Structure 1
Amino acid sequence: MPLEYSKKFTSVLYCRGVLFFSYVEVKDQVAEHNFFVYYIHAASFDSFPSRPAMTNESRLAFGFGFHPGTNDYKVVRIVEQNQPTGLEQHIEVFTLGRPMWMINRKNPFLLRMQPYAASFNERLHWLGQDKKDGSTIIVSFNLESENFHHIPIPDNCKSRLDGKDCHVVVLGGCLCLVDYNDIWSMKIYGIKESWIKEYTVMHFERLIGPIRPLCLLPNHNILIELQYLPQSLYVYSVDSMEIYKVRIHDLPPCHSYRVVSVVDDTLDSISNGCKQESPDA
């Protein structure tokens, strides 16, 4: 199944040599959410069962990860709807190679509906909310047990995490929390006291607004995307505090594009000595 320029992808995610794509297609006046993956090393495509497309009253988020113990790639689809009793989220899980989606996984937390999840330490991560006390937390999804757990956030940025400018990423082999233009790293996975504010991306005339870090580059450079300008790529030098715009040559001017970070997950996970301990109960 070749890529088609006519497809407008609703999600593009990467994990361990595999790209995940989703798009909406209307057949016989019925809208369906279609999905496929591209295996980079094999240069081959594979599709899997579609799901009903969301309505105008629904919101959608995805996660995509791999568990080496089970050798499974899994896609998590979150559908959020407003109900008379409040927000309601349906969790759907698909394992590549299986015939069907598993629907309505139990989740004691409310996930923040952002376009991507951070895949790290055999888990997916989103910012979320504890339904009991309303506190902001990081929600993790164990790709083996398919259970949700929570990870504490740094005390110093709790009051600033309510906006959509904050999100969770993986950077330099650590789970990181991006608070507008500050980047916090969790040096020991699951341990609250190990959070440190590792980077602050300085504002420039050409770089104003919340950032999405994509990956660490050599010489303490960070490849970043502006959240409100999703086709604006920059390299930020931590040492010199200078910013450089990335120009992509030979890109057709009439087409939009999405950016994903494609790195060797195993090498990245040990690049700066972050420890990967399990916080799951």
Structure 2
Amino acid sequence: MELKNQTALSEFHLLGLTDNHKLLPLIFTMFLSMYLITILGNLLIIMAISSGSQLHTPMYLFLSVLSINDICYSTVTIPKMLVNIQTQDDSISYIECLSQICFVSIFGEMENYLLAVMAYDRYVAICKPLRYTVIMNPFSCVLMVLFSLLLSIMDALLHSLMVLRLSFCTEVEIPHFFCELAQIIKLACSDTYLNNFLIFVAAFVFGGGPVCGIAFSYIYIVSSVLKIPSSGGRHRAFSTCASHLTVVCLFYGTGVGVNISSAVTDSPRNTAMASMMYSVIPPLLNPFVYSLRNREMKEALRNLIGRFIYLM
């Protein structure tokens, strides 16, 4: 199979979330605010973990990597949208679009794997507490993060290379605020059967594994916690998983919502609005989930903010 672009197409046009130009200033302000809050919130999480020696544990290492990933995930899509609105130019070059597809896939899949790794960490902490430091040693933690990144890159490159084989019409309008893989495939003039088949296979192989890992981890966690005789012990055990479980529900819940929306509506704009839920909302809310539901994180953030105020 020859992996090359079969058209002289040089750019796409991102139609955004609405045709109403009067709403563009509101959309610009809303997305700029969400992006700044996402960056600030995740940076605070990273700085709090770095500065708090009591947080130098595998769980918080994975959380800091998740925060870095969320910053990158938002940065791939939102700044380009803001620039397009500000310059009133909806174009995006073919290379930029392909890059967005690749990096959105990398960081979206990386979030998937990180949530699975964090679930495994909670499983070891609750079900094998005496062996926790042996199993979750620094080398193993770094290896799991790097392996997750490698699998994410492999998945993203697979889809990106398959897009290169597609040919497009000369005028291509994307009813979205970023280049989403599914939307690009729909706009192709050539046969897309192989692309759609690979999306299905990759979702099953690369996406199904982490989901099953999370499910099995929590099955064992619940089983172990229910064996704890005291209600206080059960509550403490469950509380260590509460933040992670909330983030899992947020990430996969928004993803399921997008799929349901795509199935029940023929409107590309409605699909774009739904896609915003999984690409923008989880990175925005994750820092709040962990900072508001985690006592150690709240204490570290208070100390960090206190040091900033003292220096000022």
Bin of the TM-score, shorter chain as denominator length: under 0.3
Greater C-alpha radius of gyration: 2
Structure number with higher relative contact order (C-alpha < 8 Å, ≥ 6 residues apart): 2
TM-score normalised by L of structure 2: 0.22
